[in-house]
Structure 1
Amino acid sequence: MDVRSRKLLIAVGLGILLNPLNSSMIAVAIPRLQHAYKLDYTAVSWVVFSFYLASAIAQPVMGKASDLFGRKKIFLAGLVVSFVSSMLAPLSPSFGWLVAARVAQSIGTSMMIAVGMAIVRIHVTEKQATALSVLSMFLSGAAAIGPFAGGVLLDRWDWHALFIVNIPFVAASFLLARHAIPEDGPAAESGKLSMRKWAARIDAIGILLFTAGLLGLLVGLLSIKSSGHASFRNVAIGSIGLVSLAVFARHELRTPSPFIPLRTFAKYPAMTWVNVQFMLVNLLFYALFFGIPSYLQTVRHVGEFHTGLLMLILGVCSLVASPFAGKWIDRSGPRPALITAAMLMLLGSLWLVMLGESTPVIGVGLALAAFGIGNGLNAVGMQAALFRSSPKEIAGVASGLFLTSRYLGTILSSLLTGMIMGGTFSFAGFRLLGVFLAAIALVLVLMNLRRSASAPAAVVRD
């Protein structure tokens, strides 16, 4: 690999790590933000939910936008948006402004995620597999170290530092990317597209209906839980959300270029099962990922630094398990690893239920280790299961749906946690969350055992 390729790899890596870093650092800042803005737990959870919803929409849209404007321009524009949002977020006069800054930050970092892998695949021609594995390390490493980095920053400074820390990464990536990423023009046909045709290509109507549906449903449900009663306004908002999602589903079945190709789910049931499982896996993982730090800080009064240190167990176990998972899956297929992962998550969830208010804090590390190893197995196993259940001719669509399932799982995790906790994060609520997670993990175990029995029939032959 020559010097230019290495610079390009570093430039892209420094850019794409910002999305997982910022989505994970915030986990240890929830109690601090509650105190800073005088909000309840449900309200402050929007700083998490908004980031994932924006990422779910922005990444596929920006991938298509790169055809119109060019990948380098999208990548550099993402860095500019990330820089501006990271500068403005610490100055937010209200929580609403902070959420808006988080949405902008999510869009900016998603622009780089959407085109970063493609840039490396196109312009790094030597040792391409090694280059892509390095990018994966940037992504997984940032997600793993995020809570620890957030804990250190909160311990030394305040929540504002979680945004300011992005600026050196953005600056370094921008300076390298300007020179290391070759210019690439837009696709020839893209220059002839009108705004109307471009909106049809990205399915702007579908995106708006999907966004309105999720927002309406979540605002309605969380408002009912937070206020303690079902007012006409809350029910109306939730109903609008449900209607919007129903209209969205009808629209997606009819439009020639759907945002989420729902017909594919019906056509390939084995792939659909994989996506459902992946959604549940992420629901489990992220409910724990954001629930544990709040439990440690709010219930056990553990400082941010030590909370981040404990959360490092989750990331390290996940990173260590992944290469072993690869060898195991190459030898035995994905199903044994997925069954083991589901059982580990079930054990971890049951351990949360058994935690007491005076249980040694290090005991939390057992649940984190179980979930971390399970996540490492799932990261490789679910991808392998996707490859086996989807034909090569729809590889791009399958990957897009897989990513959508991940984000739906993260969004549902925020909804589940908010619905259980309501306005205040409590020990009783945390144990109830553990019960729900154990039930979901049990469903995953049963699903994997069922799919294991029918695995030969589920494999798509090329």
Structure 2
Amino acid sequence: MSIHSRWLMISVGLGILLNPLNSSMVSVAIPSLQNVFQLDFTGVSWIIFSFYIASAIAQPVMGKASDLFGRRKIFLTGLVVAFIASLLAPLSPTFGWLIVFRIVQAIGTSMMVAVGMAIVRIHITEKQATALSVLSIFLSGAAAIGPFIGGVIIHWWGWPAIFFVNIPFVVVSFLLSWRNIPEDEPSTSVAVGMSLRKWFDLIDLSGILLFTVGLVALLLGLLSAKSGHISLGNVIVGLIGLALLGVFVRHELKATSPFIPLRTFAKYPAMTWVNVEFMLVNVLYYSLFFGLPSYLQMVRHVSEFQTGILMLTLGLCSLVTSPLAGRWIDKSGPGPALLVSAILMTLGSVWLVILNQTSPVISVCLALATFGISNGLNNVGMQAALFQSSPKEIIGVASGLFNTSRYLGTILSSLLISIVMGGKFNFEGFQVLGIILTVIALTLVFMSRRRRESRQLHES
């Protein structure tokens, strides 16, 4: 691999890591934000909801936008947007403004993720698989060590530092990208003579609006159940959201360029079940990822610094397991690895249920290690299962749907925590969360066994 190719990978890698880094650092900041802005736990959860909803929408849209304006321009623009958001978010006078800048940050970082892999795939021709695997390390590594970085910098400099820490990455990535990412021509078949209306049709603006407004309204309605006091207004908002999502489904089935190609799910049921399983995996994993730091800080009164160090167990186990899982899956297929992962998640969930307010810290570390190993198996295993179940001619669409399933899982995990905990994170709610996660994990065990048996029957 040439020196230029290596610098190109570093340029892109420093940009794409910002999305997973910022989505994970906030897990340690939730108690601090709750105290600063005087919010209940449900209210502060919108710092998570907003980021994932914006990312889920922005990434496919920006992927299409790169055909119009060029991938280099989208990547560099994303860095500028992320810089502005990271600079202004710590200055937010209210939590509402913080959410606005958080959404802008999600859009900016999603612009880089949407085109980063494509830039490397197009401009690095030698050892391409190695290059893409290195970028995957940037993505998974940033997500893994995010809570540790967040815990350390919040301990010393407070919650605004989780935004300011992005600035060095953005500046270095921008300077390197300006120098190393080649100019690319936008697709002439898409760009030449395209009206604004055709551009809106291409990105399915109507579908995006229906999905966004419907999902936010439904979340607002569901979150009214946090304490059992459900008002008529919240019920109406929730029903409006549900109705809009119904209209969204109908619209997507008719759209020529749908935001989420739902017909693909109906046409390939095996791929659909992989996406459902992946969504449940993310519900379980991110419920722990966002729930455990709050448990440590609010129930066990552990500092942000110590919480970050403990959460490092989760990330390191995941990083170490992923390459080993790759070798195992190359030999045996994804089935055995995913079954073991589901069993480990079940054991980890049960472990959470039996934790008490005086359990030794080593017990928390063992639970985190269990989930970390299972996440490492899932990172590779679910991707391999997707490739097995998806025809080659739609692998691009399948990958997009796969990412959508990931984001829906993370959104549902935040919703689950908010409903279970209500206004205040407490030990009893944490135990209820553990029971729910155990049920989800057992469901994953059942699904993994069924898919493995179905695969064996098909091969015989």
Structure 1 and Structure 2 fold alike (TM over 0.5): yes
User: Could you say what secondary structure the match of 1:353 adopts?
Assistant: helix
How far residue 179 of structure 1 moved from its aligned partner, in angstroms, is 1.2
Q: Say if 2:122 is the partner of 1:130.
A: no
Specify the alignment match of 1:209 in structure 2: 210
Specify the alignment match of 1:273 in structure 2: 273
* Match runs of 1:182-201 below 5 Å: 182-189=182-189, 190-201=191-202
How far residue 457 of structure 1 moved from its aligned partner, in angstroms, is 6.1
Q: Say if 2:221 is the partner of 1:220.
A: yes
How far residue 223 of structure 1 moved from its aligned partner, in angstroms, is 2.6
* Match runs of 1:34-45 below 5 Å: 34-45=34-45
Specify the alignment match of 1:447 in structure 2: 447
CA distance in 1, matches of 2:153, 2:398: 38
Which stretch of structure 1 is more off in the superposition, 390-399 or 189-198? 189-198
How far residue 126 of structure 1 moved from its aligned partner, in angstroms, is 1.8
How big is each residue's C-alpha offset from its partner over 1:118-167, in whole Å with a ceiling of 9 and x where there is no partner? 00111112221121111111111111110000010011110000000000
Is the 1:224–1:231 Cα contact (8 Å) retained in structure 2? no
CA distance in 2, matches of 1:320, 1:153: 25
CA distance in 2, matches of 1:129, 1:393: 20
CA distance in 1, matches of 2:303, 2:393: 51
* Match runs of 1:254-333 below 5 Å: 254-333=254-333
TM-score (norm 1): 0.98
Per the alignment, do residues 163 and 2 of structure 1 end up closer, same or farther by CA in structure 2, a change over 3 Å counting?
A: same
Specify the alignment match of 2:352 in structure 1: 352
Is the 1:145–1:315 Cα contact (8 Å) retained in structure 2? yes
CA distance in 1, matches of 2:453, 2:124: 42
How big is each residue's C-alpha offset from its partner over 1:243-271, in whole Å with a ceiling of 9 and x where there is no partner? 00000000011111111111111111100
How big is each residue's C-alpha offset from its partner over 1:188-214, in whole Å with a ceiling of 9 and x where there is no partner? 021321110011111111111111111
User: 2:412 corresponds to which letter in structure 1?
Assistant: L
User: Could you say what secondary structure the match of 1:167 adopts?
Assistant: helix
Deviating above 4 A after TM superposition, structure 1's stretches of 4 or more consecutive aligned residues are 456-459
Specify the alignment match of 1:16 in structure 2: 16
How far residue 76 of structure 1 moved from its aligned partner, in angstroms, is 0.4
Which stretch of structure 1 is more off in the superposition, 255-264 or 1-10? 1-10
User: 1:391 corresponds to which letter in structure 2?
Assistant: P
CA distance in 2, matches of 1:442, 1:135: 33
Is the 2:224–2:231 Cα contact (8 Å) retained in structure 1? no
CA distance in 2, matches of 1:237, 1:225: 15
CA distance in 1, matches of 2:396, 2:101: 31
Is the 1:318–1:372 Cα contact (8 Å) retained in structure 2? yes
User: 1:265 corresponds to which letter in structure 2?
Assistant: F
Is the 1:85–1:105 Cα contact (8 Å) retained in structure 2? yes
* Match runs of 1:112-191 below 5 Å: 112-189=112-189, 190-191=191-192
Query: Unaligned regions of 5+ residues in structure 1, if any?
Result: none
How far residue 458 of structure 1 moved from its aligned partner, in angstroms, is 6.5
Is the 2:352–2:431 Cα contact (8 Å) retained in structure 1? yes
The number of aligned residues is 458
User: Could you say what secondary structure the match of 1:454 adopts?
Assistant: helix
User: Could you say what secondary structure the match of 1:192 adopts?
Assistant: coil
CA distance in 2, matches of 1:237, 1:366: 42
CA distance in 2, matches of 1:141, 1:191: 40
How big is each residue's C-alpha offset from its partner over 1:274-320, in whole Å with a ceiling of 9 and x where there is no partner? 00000000000000000000000000000011100000000111111
Is the 1:270–1:458 Cα contact (8 Å) retained in structure 2? no
How far residue 456 of structure 1 moved from its aligned partner, in angstroms, is 4.4
User: 1:306 corresponds to which letter in structure 2?
Assistant: Q
How far residue 224 of structure 1 moved from its aligned partner, in angstroms, is 3.3
CA distance in 2, matches of 1:457, 1:232: 51
User: Could you say what secondary structure the match of 2:147 adopts?
Assistant: helix
Is the 2:75–2:111 Cα contact (8 Å) retained in structure 1? yes
User: 1:197 corresponds to which letter in structure 2?
Assistant: K
How far residue 455 of structure 1 moved from its aligned partner, in angstroms, is 1.1
How big is each residue's C-alpha offset from its partner over 1:64-91, in whole Å with a ceiling of 9 and x where there is no partner? 0000010000000000000000000000
How big is each residue's C-alpha offset from its partner over 1:2-23, in whole Å with a ceiling of 9 and x where there is no partner? 2222221111000000001000
Is the 1:389–1:458 Cα contact (8 Å) retained in structure 2? no
CA distance in 1, matches of 2:333, 2:411: 29
Specify the alignment match of 2:342 in structure 1: 342
Q: CA RMSD in A?
A: 1.0
Q: Say if 2:6 is the partner of 1:2.
A: no
Per the alignment, do residues 271 and 458 of structure 1 end up closer, same or farther by CA in structure 2, a change over 3 Å counting?
A: farther
CA distance in 2, matches of 1:20, 1:430: 25
Query: Unaligned regions of 5+ residues in structure 2, if any?
Result: none
Is the 1:81–1:105 Cα contact (8 Å) retained in structure 2? yes
CA distance in 2, matches of 1:56, 1:435: 28
